[in-house]
């Protein structure tokens, strides 16, 4: 019976592979929404529905609006090449450089910068022009299907996830049930620490960043907030990846005081609550996985398999770490018994 069952499972995986991103996202959303669902007690259906909405809605708004703003900005760059080059030339002329150095190097610096910028814009325009419309449309459709699938996966895992785990336990031999239970609990804690800490931190950073960017009049706030959200999900890669470049931009356009004021306010409101309070508390109380492994798993998974790999690689690493920890504890316990 093993061979037919394995073939059937491979066939099922083959048919579900296009929706792998949605399934992985649904599992992550379910982990993130589980603390909210538990607040409703026995009203599991209502709790599952509310938790799914609370988790997915802000993520969808930040990512969708950010993507729209990024696409519109790319189109503007492609269609306003001369205006961008003129602004670069004005900026270079306004930079205070000693006259002796300026007379010798200004022309070379200007030519190099404007030439490089023009090349980048031309390459970007060529890429945009050569994007196959049909393939681009199919990618959007597939992404939409995966997002819809993640909503249903999240809801039904919140509703019946415990029953699914109990069903899988029936295939475990009775003598292995104890270690299997310990392994599931350990991996569950690792997953909770990784995903709950990452998503809650990123959501809080993204929502606050929208308000801060709007308050300072920064263009494309949702596009920048989406970058803050993505950076906030990866340990070490924090909101400062977005805050620092914006502060430098404001330094060159508005002066030192405005740049320092923005950096201080953004750091206090965006960085400190999420990175120094929420993430350390959630990760330290739930996950025993080293932050370096989490960071490498997130980045490596995204480079290899996109959105699905971004979350799947840390999960696989968590399973390996959980097995190692359980094995280590068993060996230590056996040594204690012998002593």
Split at pLDDT 50, 70, 90, the class of 227 is: confident
pLDDT at 138 over 80: no
Q: How far is CA 116 from CA 70, 80, 88, in A?
A: 22, 16, 11
Same domain, 161 and 208: no
Question: What's the chain's Rg over C-alpha atoms?
Answer: 25
Q: For residues 251-273, give the mean pLDDT.
A: 86
Predicted confidence at residue 338, as pLDDT, reads 42
Mark whether 149 and 252 lie in a shared domain.
no
Q: Where does a domain end: 167, 194, 227?
A: 167
Residue 8 is assigned to a structural domain of this protein: no
185 and 147, same structural domain?
Answer: no
For the record, the structure tokens of 16 come out as 């579900």
Task: State residue 50's pLDDT score.
Answer: 92
Number of independent structural domains in the chain:
2
Do 158 and 243 contact (CB within 8 A), yes or no? no
Q: Are 214 and 147 within one domain?
A: no
- Rounded Cα distance between 161 and 159, Å, is 6
The range of the structural domain enclosing residue 84 comes to 20-167
194 and 155 inside one domain: no
pTM of the model: 0.74
User: Does residue 116 sit in the same domain as residue 134?
Assistant: yes
The residue out of 132, 167, 202 marking a domain boundary is 167
pLDDT in tens, 5-52: 788 888 888 888 888 888 888 998 998 888 888 888 888 889 999 999
pLDDT of residue 235: 63
pLDDT above 70 as % of the chain: 74
pLDDT band at 152 (very low <50, low <70, confident <90, very high): very high
> Is residue 339 scored above 70 in pLDDT?
no
Question: Residue 252 contacts by C-beta under 8 Å, 6 or more apart in sequence?
Answer: 91
Q: Are residues 139 and 227 in the same domain?
A: no
Q: What confidence score (pLDDT) does residue 124 get?
A: 55
Residues 201, 274: contact at Cβ < 8 Å?
A: yes
**Overall average pLDDT of the 98-110 stretch:** 52
**Is residue 14 included in any domain, yes or no?**
no
> What is the chain's percent helix, strand, coil content, to nearest 5?
90, 0, 10
44-79 and 197-215 helices, crossing angle to 10°: 50
**What pLDDT, on the 0 to 100 scale, is given for residue 336?**
46
Do residues 186 and 137 both lie within one domain? no
pLDDT of 134 = 46
In the predicted model, what is the mean pLDDT of residues 98-121? Answer: 54
User: Are 159 and 65 contained in the same domain?
Assistant: yes
Reported as a single tens digit per residue, the pLDDT across 279-329 is: 666 655 555 677 777 778 888 888 887 777 888 888 888 888 888 888 888
Both tokens of residue 229? 């959200």
Asked if residue 3 belongs to a domain, the reply is no
Residues 235, 306 within the same domain = yes
Which among 151, 167, 183 is the end of a domain?
167
């Amino acid at each position: 019976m093993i061979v037919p069952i394995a073939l059937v499972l491979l066939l099922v995986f083959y048919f579900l592979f296009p929706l792998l991103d949605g399934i992985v996202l649904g599992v992550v959303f379910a982990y993130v929404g589980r603390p909210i669902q538990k607040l409703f007690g026995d009203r599991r259906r209502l709790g599952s529905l509310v938790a799914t909405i609370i988790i997915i809605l802000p993520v969808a708004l930040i990512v969708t609006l950010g993507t729209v703003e990024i696409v519109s900005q790319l189109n503007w760059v492609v269609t306003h090449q001369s205006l961008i080059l003129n602004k670069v030339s004005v900026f270079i002329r306004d930079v205070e450089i000693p006259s002796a150095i300026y007379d010798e190097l200004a022309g070379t610096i200007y030519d190099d910068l404007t030439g490089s910028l023009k090349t980048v814009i031309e390459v970007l325009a060529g890429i945009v022009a050569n994007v196959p419309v049909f393939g681009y449309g199919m990618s959007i459709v597939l992404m939409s299907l995966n997002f819809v699938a993640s909503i249903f996966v999240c809801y039904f895992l919140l509703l019946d996830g415990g029953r699914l785990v109990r069903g899988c336990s029936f295939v475990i031999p009775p003598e292995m049930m104890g270690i299997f239970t310990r392994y599931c609990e350990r991996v569950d804690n690792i997953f909770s620490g990784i995903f709950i800490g990452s998503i809650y931190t990123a959501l809080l950073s993204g929502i606050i960043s929208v308000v801060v960017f709007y308050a300072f009049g920064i263009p494309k706030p949702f596009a920048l907030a989406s970058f803050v959200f993505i950076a906030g999900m990866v340990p070490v890669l924090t909101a400062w990846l977005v805050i620092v470049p914006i502060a430098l931009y404001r330094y060159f356009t508005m002066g030192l005081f405005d740049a320092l004021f923005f950096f201080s306010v953004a750091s206090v409101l965006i960085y400190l609550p999420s990175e120094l309070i929420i993430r350390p508390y959630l990760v330290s109380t739930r996950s025993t996985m080293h932050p370096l492994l989490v960071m490498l798993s997130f980045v490596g998974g995204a480079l290899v398999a996109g959105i699905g790999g971004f979350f799947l690689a840390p999960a696989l690493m968590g399973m390996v770490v959980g097995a190692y920890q359980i094995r280590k504890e068993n060996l230590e316990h056996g040594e204690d018994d012998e002593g």
